[in-house]
């Protein structure tokens, strides 16, 4: 039985090299729905590859083992694991009523590693659903027992 995945494709804009890359951010009603899932981005194309990470790849933390395994499996060398580097701009809830919190809360700003240049910091920009990403010419590859659920 295939594992159903959900998510949003965001455009990552590198502040250093200026290139734009797609990245899939997983969503689910619990952490268990997304645990172990990984999104790799192509350095050469408008493409995302989604896989389930192995336990050793999760504990390693950097994504290097995952990159090596997936690139080898697909006979490629252009797929990069996108790392979340920083989250900022979240509202502090302490002492606020729920109504005050709702007024103050803004979506957090996320900074990622740039899959294109490797050294840059990329900020998330526009987001679309996977069907729109595919319709606009993007490529979304699911490896293993995964199924895209909208």
C-alpha pair distances (Å), 59 with each of 24, 34, 80: 21, 16, 18
Is the pLDDT assigned to residue 144 strictly greater than 70? yes
Triad 127, 111, 96: Cα angle to 5°:
85
Contact predicate 40/51, CB 8 Å: yes
Q: Other CB atoms closer than 10 Å to residue 69's CB: what's the count?
A: 15
pTM of the predicted protein model:
0.83
Tens-place pLDDT, residues 60-97: 767 789 999 999 999 999 999 998 888 887 666 677 78
Is the pLDDT assigned to residue 99 strictly greater than 90? no
Tens-place pLDDT, residues 118-132: 878 898 889 999 999
At residue 125, the pLDDT reads 85
At residue 92, the pLDDT reads 66
Q: Residue 23: how many CA atoms within 13 Å on its side-chain side?
A: 27
* Structure tokens, 31: 């952490």
At residue 32, the pLDDT reads 80
- Rounded Cα distance between 21 and 83, Å, is 13
């Amino acid at each position: 039985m295939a594992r159903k995945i959900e998510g949003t494709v965001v455009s990552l804009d590198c502040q250093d090299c200026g290139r734009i890359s797609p990245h899939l951010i997983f969503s689910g009603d619990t952490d268990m729905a997304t645990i172990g899932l990984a999104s790799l981005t192509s350095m050469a194309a408008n493409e995302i590859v989604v896989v389930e990470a192995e336990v050793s790849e999760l504990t390693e933390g950097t994504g290097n083992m995952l990159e090596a395994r997936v690139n080898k499996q697909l006979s490629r060398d252009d797929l990069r694991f996108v790392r979340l580097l920083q989250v900022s701009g979240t509202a502090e809830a302490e002492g606020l009523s729920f109504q005050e919190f709702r007024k103050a809360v803004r979506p957090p700003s996320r900074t990622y590693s740039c899959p294109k240049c490797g050294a840059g910091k990329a900020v998330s920009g526009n987001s679309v659903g996977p069907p729109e990403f595919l319709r606009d010419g993007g490529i979304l590859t699911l490896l293993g027992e995964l199924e895209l659920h909208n």
